[in-house]
Structure 1
Amino acid sequence: MDIEKAITSLDLRRKVRLLTGSALFALWPEPEIGLASLKLSDGPTGVRGAELRGGVIACVLPNATLLAQHWDVALAREVGEVLADEAAAQQVHVVLGPTINLHRTPLGGRLFEAYSEDPLLTGALAAAYVQGLQDNGIAATPKHYVANESETERRTVSSVLNEKTLREVYLLPFEIVVEDSSPWAIMAAYNKVNGIPATEHTELVERVLKGEWGFDGVVVSDWFATSSTAESANGGLDLVMPGPGGPWEDKLVAAVEAGEVAESTVDDHVRRLLLLASRTGAFGERTWPTDVPAPDSAVRREQLRRFAAGGMTVLKNDGVLPLNASRVALIGRHAIDTVAQGGGSAGLRPPHVVSVADGLTSLLGDAVSVVDGVEVRQRHAAPGAGVLRDIRATTFAASGEVLASREMEVAELAAFGGWAQGAASIEVSGEVVLSEPARMLVGVRGFGRWTLEVSGEQHDTHLAWADGIVEEALLKPPSWTTEVLVSPGDRITARVREAAALVGLITQPVPRPPADAIGAAVRAAREADVAVVVVGLTDEQETEGFDKTTLALPGEQDALVAAVAAAAKRTVVVVNAATPVLMPWLAQVDAVLWAGLPGQEAGDAVAAALTGAIEPAGRLVTTFPRTDSQALSPVPSDGSLPYTEGTAIGYRGASDPLFWFGHGLGYTTWQYGEASTSTVDDVIDTVSVRLTNTGERQGREVVQVYLRPEDEPVRLIGWTVADVGAGQTVQVEVPCSARVQRVWAGGWQPLPDGEVLIARGLGDVRVTLRADEG
């Protein structure tokens, strides 16, 4: 299609209409010029579709940190290809990912969506992910541009950092992804950068992104992030989401007519939007495939299990792994209710989630005995699979007329942004699945005026929404419960008026005291050859919208691990979390497997990693502190968040951490031999090293190269992944990036000479060379 001709044919009002969404995740069509409605979807770890809750069934991939722990650009590209298939199956043109903000502090609530604390590793993985999507005609949207490392006060906070830090660290992943993979869209962040909103930051958007780097795609706002009209339009923002409504539309037309925004500026925004539409097949005709593998197909399940298991990281191993025991006690709430994904906009509806209990039992059979653990949640969650059946949601008008009624697979739904939006009241109900009467905690979650009916009783409650913060309503909904004797076949029905964001039922067993749970775990551990304790975080800690206040495991999980370790012959801890946790019990246990948030095939992946069916060859992408005090605060002061550490982010400024960035043991041992460097124009181009697998198993090694220059923090400059058979020796060539061998001082300058470190992580440096050694 002729983009310039199309722009000329549209009047101002019709052009402006194209620049704001027609719905939460859709844009306006313009049939006269052959433009279809573009569909967008959240998508860092799966393509959710338009519904915030209970939408289409889609693949839930392992979270970004677990994928990044492969350190493998080929795998990152394969991830992009899977997401392209998932998007095409839903006729989605634009995937809102990857998230390429950095792990500035392990207390960040949204780190599970982002790759790592290192800008080079993050940028390289993101570029491959983008290529996997866009080579298949689906737009990627790297986000959130830029310095978006805090969820606390995220819509108003100003990230304060100097140009050196901004250029060398936080802009670098975006620079890499723009220059190496040419993404078709980039999302502007909620936050301000040095006092200027990212959605209207002329310097960063017009001059750096579009000018210096030559970005030719669409800059889209984060959802509800834009608060200005002329400032954002003139500052380089191309698309305001969501819609309809917002600060553009009629207001932007008026700004053009008043001379505050040039119509040529609007034309440029439209030009970029039509280029995006052309690239994704919405400006013209697109034929969508009909043979995409289903989310629960054998091919998908194999891929996702491999993605998860191969990225898992062996943090400690005193010989107990790979697992080989005739009696295994599998202990912990996370073993039974394994957490597959984080909370917030990345969340979606999987075809299933394989628990660790199901995965290990299916592999080892009667050798495994499963014991529940302590409570891990402070807030009540929606009931899991099999707790309720015949779930139904119905929406009503103010007159009482039924607007819509749907069967549901989960007993919660979004009150805005989907089919329930605009209802005066919403009813959710489900039949309890029981074989005999039992006392249950029954209740509701979500702001609003509730009426609950169960077992012949009626309860009324009002969960008032005082502050109007969407994140609070959607991600931390309040709850009310009561203890009820429930019989088989009883139906729980709840109706809410004045609903905000999310509504749902609560149905769960009455919690037992921690001492009882720990006692049962200890008894099981004594009778086993190996106790495997599964602990971790939930979407209460790893979520969009909120940061953590501590790295400690929630509830009495630390006490559970310590008690089991004291009783068991051998103890393995599996950590079902994406981001660092404190480990006061580390010296008491024999092995620790870092399992991340493994996606829908979680349990099968953990079982494969524990038994060695797939080597957990992952390497950490975040430095693990020993204490909370070693972690930078993500909390602003007076609306500002100073990046006082400068370029010394993560491992660059760490001292005596619990585990270094890059750490991971795998299941074999390695010897590093002679090494040399080669340079091009005084920049290290390649490092060569002789590598021997000295163990008895084939293994995967991640050879990491760091540069420690004079008067500057150490930094990763290259890595490569090597698959080596037992007893074999290979010559490994590590390509090194010039982009991290420079410093910003009003412009790019050469980095001072220093030491080259060839390592298995910064805590295990194997070879040290001078930068000029050949």
Structure 2
Amino acid sequence: MDLAEKVALLTGASMFTLATDPELRLSDGPTGVRGLKFHGGPVVALLPNATLIASAWSEDTAYEVGTILAGEAARLGIHVVLGPTINLHRTALGGRLFEAYSEDPLLTGKLAAAYVRGLQENGVGATLKHLVANESETDRHTVDSVVDEATLREVYLLPFEIAVEEADAWSMMAAYNDVNGVAATEHDHVNNRIVKGEWGYRGLIMSDWFATKTTAASANGGLDLVMPGPNGPWGDALVKAVRDGLVKESTVDDHLDRLRLLASRVSLEATPGPDPDHPTRRQQLTRIAARGMTVLTNNGALPLARDRSVALIGRHAVATVCMGGGSAQVNPPYQVSVAEGLAAELGDVEVVDGVEVRERPVTARGFVTTADHRPGVTVTLRGADGAVVEVRYAPDATTVVGMDDDFDTPVATITFTGTVSAGGAAELGTFGVGDWTLLHESYSLRASRGGFGEEILAPPSRTFVAPLDDAAVVEATVTLAGSEGPMAGFGRFGLIARPAPRPVAAVIDDAVSAARRADVAVVVVGTTEEQETEAVDKSTLRLPGEQDALVSAVAAASKQTVVVVNAATPVLMPWLGEVDAVLWAGLPGQEGGHAVAAALLGVVEPAGRLVTTFPAADGAAPAWSVTPVDGKLPYAEGPFLGYRGHFAKRAPEPLFWFGHGLGYGTWRYDDVTLSRDPLAVSVTVSNTSTQTSREVVQVYFEPAETDQPVRLVGWRAVEVVPGGSVTVVIEPDARMWRRWDTDANRWDRLRPGGHLLVARSLDDVVKRLPLS
């Protein structure tokens, strides 16, 4: 191959394909393999989100998830899945935490390695992302993450190191952000010296989509593949850079060798998995989701007794949020609500809608239908001459253009058409950048923050209330506005149609009345893809809308109140002392409602343990702000993020500690001993309850050095029958005894001493074992 032919292979052929022969196909995939279409693609399985999967604290579960995704990838002809996301939960405000496992580097790395093995042992490549210090979304394309070298190596690079060492992940993705003043896509120190040099990594480093900003600097800085294609900063510019002596041809050859290795590793004939709605897959996804759910408090209200009447309350009960926003979204066969799941188990359940939970309304399920009576709308794309380019069916009244279309004629206008069957006042509106007409309204919507990809991930919207006749046909048309930059011509657009909002007081009154009539009120609250999303961080951990007021009002009226939190990340709970039980349910995937019902009723024990510390108040955490100052985001807390900082009293006592979770069993720990050579902790755990239950024994190291934080060094989960006992042996991970000596520029050992803490979580330490 000549130089130009080599270079041509090092930029993607399209949005999600490579220019290899045979063509390699990539897909986003942390919680579902979406396929080659960013939106409206094939029907695929929607798995529980990453924090819910991780809450099982089970490498076996992570491996199982990898095998599921491998089967999904093979079914769709995908060769490389763009996951797992293994950035850490540095601050609970991070919008994309729902895609990542935890705040702890060891837990994250071990689970990631198992996930990678599940994929790659079945012939599908995994992609570790996002390398590195990519823990928030605000100004994500320009932010400079400022991290000292010791913290970078000991904390943020450690999950990547573990997944390379234990699973040999075939590819990685370089992040959008800078790290200590250098773009991640051209970071010679991280990509070449550490990853490819010190770790001996043989795999490929690709860019995040549109992240590559330079030619020679990125080629020399360890990036092997620019995505997407066919255009980008390499191509002819890289050929010229080689000929001008700015990049060695041997560097290009190394990039090409890594691409060829990836191509040789993936299987073009991997075994497809079952259909997303196959009974085996449905049972599997229900079990995985329910197992990860976490009982935060329980005054005897859980599991629910089947002979008690239940009032099910809340917008999240009837419109359960099963996945986060952004590139992790997929097109599932269905999404089961908690109302549907609990009714399937109990039959007679009184269901009451709750207060509004969104700032940006969405189309209510079933409120608008097409001419052939399917839920959703018809979408007509036209060119500048008015000729029809394509007609689409959109069950969620949403469509995307430009991201992965291959039309000969550019789309100029989009029309959404649907019928609202019930007359009366309705809230109508649209979202997407352009000039709109809807009924008697004409208006323009423009991107506001100027963030890269806002037109796709967080488009502007507008709504208004209008009277409608029965069977009213609603039509909205947008003329696309011009845009600049790498996302020019891309956009997400949609029609908003739903019943006109009711006053909050009336909604709460209905909930209170239902709660008084029932033996137990189950209130489902949570977040939505407005908070749990790529491209946008949170500004608070408070539940959106008036959900806190709803919980308090119901708790005051109900005989017994159970709160289900349908959120992937921490929320504040000002009503915690008013309710009888709290179940954290995550974003539970397509079987969400069935999984919540199984957990509430004890069909599957919700044996999860928290993977993120829940702060007691906004700001009450070791790391908080996600807003850069003068373009820089200092990781000033160093290695004391999350539980590490709380334990060191660098932040107030949290609401719930990392590792907390009650399950439905009770436990006794006996015969806690420490042996050496190898270092190991032995403990006998006894199930003192009347049902089989699962316990997670956790071991933490508390170093003697005051400048070193406590850290998780090992864990073991066991399932024990009532009255049974199991002896658990845990060998702490040797990597957790390292520290980076910045002056000597090498790894060193922590000095002898300190303690091992055997614990159910750090607020329930069973025994401190001295190491001296």
For Structure 1 versus Structure 2, the TM-score category normalised by the shorter chain is: over 0.9
SS, match of residue 321 in structure 1:
coil
| Partner residue in 2 for 1:771 | 771
| Partner residue in 1 for 2:671 | 674
Runs of 4+ in 1 over 4 A off after TM superposition: none
SS, match of residue 730 in structure 2:
strand
The answer to whether the 8 A contact 2:324-2:587 is kept is yes
Q: Structure 2: any 5+ residue segments left out of the alignment?
A: 372-376, 482-489, 647-651
Q: Which amino acid aligns with 1:668?
A: G
Check 1:511–1:466 CA distance in 2 against 1; reply closer, same or farther (3 A cut). Answer: closer
For residues 281-360 of structure 1, the aligned pairs below 5 Å read 281=267, 286-287=268-269, 289=271, 292-324=273-305, 325-360=307-342
Match of 2:610 among 614, 620, 623: 620
The answer to whether the 8 A contact 2:367-2:497 is kept is no
Structure 1 Cα separation of the partners of residues 765 and 83 of structure 2 = 34
| Partner residue in 1 for 2:485 | none
The answer to whether the 8 A contact 2:66-2:115 is kept is yes
2:433 is the counterpart of 1:447: yes
The answer to whether the 8 A contact 1:120-1:716 is kept is yes
The answer to whether the 8 A contact 1:685-1:738 is kept is no
For residues 530-549 of structure 1, the aligned pairs below 5 Å read 530-549=520-539
Cα drift, residue 250 of structure 1: 1.2
Structure 2 Cα separation of the partners of residues 380 and 280 of structure 1 = 42
SS, match of residue 141 in structure 1:
strand
| Partner residue in 2 for 1:32 | none
The answer to whether the 8 A contact 1:395-1:423 is kept is no
Cα drift, residue 713 of structure 1: 1.0
| Partner residue in 1 for 2:626 | 634
The answer to whether the 8 A contact 1:57-1:351 is kept is yes
Q: Select between 209-218 and 436-445 the one with higher mean Cα deviation.
A: 436-445
Q: Select between 96-105 and 727-736 the one with higher mean Cα deviation.
A: 727-736
Q: Select between 719-728 and 20-29 the one with higher mean Cα deviation.
A: 20-29
Cα drift, residue 410 of structure 1: 2.8
Cα drift, residue 393 of structure 1: 2.1
| Partner residue in 2 for 1:6 | none
The answer to whether the 8 A contact 1:672-1:767 is kept is no
Structure 2 Cα separation of the partners of residues 573 and 646 of structure 1 = 35
Q: Cα deviation per residue 1:301-329 (whole Å; 9 max; x = unaligned)? A: 11110110000000000001000142111
Q: Which amino acid aligns with 2:5?
A: R
Q: Cα deviation per residue 1:236-260 (whole Å; 9 max; x = unaligned)? A: 1000011121111111111111111
Structure 2 Cα separation of the partners of residues 763 and 577 of structure 1 = 23
SS, match of residue 583 in structure 2:
strand
Q: Which amino acid aligns with 1:502?
A: R
Q: Which amino acid aligns with 1:700?
A: R
Q: Which amino acid aligns with 2:688?
A: T
Cα drift, residue 709 of structure 1: 1.0
The answer to whether the 8 A contact 2:667-2:685 is kept is yes
For residues 453-602 of structure 1, the aligned pairs below 5 Å read 457-465=439-447, 468-499=450-481, 500-602=490-592
The answer to whether the 8 A contact 2:428-2:466 is kept is yes
SS, match of residue 252 in structure 1:
helix
SS, match of residue 142 in structure 1:
strand
Q: Cα deviation per residue 1:184-222 (whole Å; 9 max; x = unaligned)? A: 100001111110111001111011101111111110001
Q: Pairwise CA RMSD of aligned residues?
A: 1.5
Q: Which amino acid aligns with 1:379?
A: R
Cα drift, residue 482 of structure 1: 2.9
2:183 is the counterpart of 1:197: yes
Q: How many residue pairs were aligned?
A: 744
Structure 1 Cα separation of the partners of residues 524 and 262 of structure 2 = 45
Q: Which amino acid aligns with 2:750?
A: L
Check 1:260–1:105 CA distance in 2 against 1; reply closer, same or farther (3 A cut). Answer: same
Q: Which amino acid aligns with 1:598?
A: P
Q: Structure 1: any 5+ residue segments left out of the alignment?
A: 1-9, 30-34
SS, match of residue 23 in structure 1:
coil
Cα drift, residue 409 of structure 1: 2.7
Q: Which amino acid aligns with 1:58?
A: V
For residues 261-272 of structure 1, the aligned pairs below 5 Å read 261-272=247-258
2:64 is the counterpart of 1:68: no
SS, match of residue 27 in structure 1:
coil
Check 1:573–1:420 CA distance in 2 against 1; reply closer, same or farther (3 A cut). Answer: farther
Structure 1 Cα separation of the partners of residues 336 and 417 of structure 2 = 23
Cα drift, residue 389 of structure 1: 2.9
Check 1:343–1:42 CA distance in 2 against 1; reply closer, same or farther (3 A cut). Answer: same
Cα drift, residue 458 of structure 1: 4.2
| Partner residue in 2 for 1:404 | 390
Structure 2 Cα separation of the partners of residues 518 and 697 of structure 1 = 37
The answer to whether the 8 A contact 1:663-1:760 is kept is yes
Q: Cα deviation per residue 1:402-442 (whole Å; 9 max; x = unaligned)? A: 222233333211122123776332323343252x4232112
| Partner residue in 1 for 2:649 | none
Q: Which amino acid aligns with 2:654?
A: P
For residues 681-692 of structure 1, the aligned pairs below 5 Å read 685-692=679-686
Structure 2 Cα separation of the partners of residues 714 and 482 of structure 1 = 53
Q: Select between 465-474 and 115-124 the one with higher mean Cα deviation.
A: 465-474
Structure 1 Cα separation of the partners of residues 414 and 631 of structure 2 = 40
Cα drift, residue 734 of structure 1: 1.5
Structure 2 Cα separation of the partners of residues 430 and 57 of structure 1 = 23
Match of 1:741 among 737, 742, 756: 737
Structure 1 Cα separation of the partners of residues 675 and 606 of structure 2 = 32
| Partner residue in 2 for 1:379 | 360
For residues 36-435 of structure 1, the aligned pairs below 5 Å read 36-281=22-267, 286-287=268-269, 289=271, 292-324=273-305, 325-366=307-348, 368-385=349-366, 387-390=368-371, 391-419=377-405, 423-434=410-421
The answer to whether the 8 A contact 2:139-2:451 is kept is no
SS, match of residue 292 in structure 1:
coil
Identity of aligned residues (%): 57
Cα drift, residue 55 of structure 1: 1.2
Q: Cα deviation per residue 1:87-133 (whole Å; 9 max; x = unaligned)? A: 11110111000000000011111100000000000000000000000
| Partner residue in 2 for 1:706 | 700
The answer to whether the 8 A contact 1:382-1:412 is kept is no
Q: Cα deviation per residue 1:544-567 (whole Å; 9 max; x = unaligned)? A: 111111000000000000000011
Structure 2 Cα separation of the partners of residues 393 and 288 of structure 1 = 35
TM-score normalized by structure 1?
0.94
Cα drift, residue 464 of structure 1: 2.5
SS, match of residue 26 in structure 1:
coil
Cα drift, residue 383 of structure 1: 4.3
Cα drift, residue 528 of structure 1: 0.8
Q: Cα deviation per residue 1:666-691 (whole Å; 9 max; x = unaligned)? A: 001000011122333xxx63211011
The answer to whether the 8 A contact 1:432-1:488 is kept is no
Structure 2 Cα separation of the partners of residues 386 and 613 of structure 1 = 33
The answer to whether the 8 A contact 1:668-1:695 is kept is yes
Q: Which amino acid aligns with 1:744?
A: W
Q: Which amino acid aligns with 1:424?
A: V
Check 1:645–1:288 CA distance in 2 against 1; reply closer, same or farther (3 A cut). Answer: closer
The answer to whether the 8 A contact 2:39-2:330 is kept is yes
| Partner residue in 1 for 2:662 | 665
| Partner residue in 1 for 2:374 | none
SS, match of residue 180 in structure 1:
helix
Cα drift, residue 490 of structure 1: 2.9
The answer to whether the 8 A contact 2:336-2:592 is kept is yes
The answer to whether the 8 A contact 1:528-1:568 is kept is yes
Structure 1 Cα separation of the partners of residues 406 and 585 of structure 2 = 36
The answer to whether the 8 A contact 1:54-1:409 is kept is no
Cα drift, residue 24 of structure 1: 1.0
SS, match of residue 566 in structure 1:
helix
The answer to whether the 8 A contact 2:567-2:584 is kept is yes
The answer to whether the 8 A contact 1:130-1:181 is kept is yes
The answer to whether the 8 A contact 1:312-1:593 is kept is yes
Structure 2 Cα separation of the partners of residues 590 and 172 of structure 1 = 39
